[in-house]
Amino acid sequence: MKCRAPLRLAMGILLAWSTAGFAQQGPDNLWEVSSTMTMEGMRVPGPPTQVCAKAGQNEPPPPMQGDCQITDRKTTGNRTTFRVTCTGKEPMTGTGEMTTGKDSYQGVMRLSAKMDGETTNMTTEYAGRLIGKCTAK
């Protein structure tokens, strides 16, 4: 199936936060994050994961892996918008937005990749909720 590589990359972007390396108690914030990706008519829920973010962050930053980066990040009130650019073997570009609350956030990221001359579009909806304390690395 030709859409596997972008699907793995996009899921990796959203699940790149590591669950290892933190304890349940500490000065930082432990979030539970869930996501669902839609691509070519398929809706794929990701497993929930836990993310440890430094104290003072209202939510974990948008996750990136390897050759991906966030640009044009703008925040107005409780809404943040950003652009995503991934270079490498299968480059992707896209946009995202996140709305934050006191102990939760939700957002959407739309990515577009070109494979074998065809454009593939992916949409990922994600949400997080504060569940405790941890020690971020």
Write out the residue range of the structural domain in which residue 94 sits. 4-134
CA–CA distance, 61 with 70 (Å, rounded to integer)? 10
Give the mean pLDDT of the chain. 79
CA–CA distance, 14 with 11 (Å, rounded to integer)? 5
Domain count along the chain: 1
CA–CA distance, 26 with 9 (Å, rounded to integer)? 31
Query: What's the pLDDT at 57?
Result: 67
Query: What's the pLDDT at 22?
Result: 40
Q: Which residue has the tokens 């690395």?
A: 137
- The pLDDT tens digits for 34-90 are 999 998 889 999 899 998 888 776 555 555 566 888 889 899 999 999 998 988 777
Phi/psi class of residue 41: alpha, beta or left (left: φ > 0; alpha: ψ in -120 to 50)? left
Question: For 84-102, what is the mean pLDDT?
Answer: 88
Prediction pTM value: 0.71
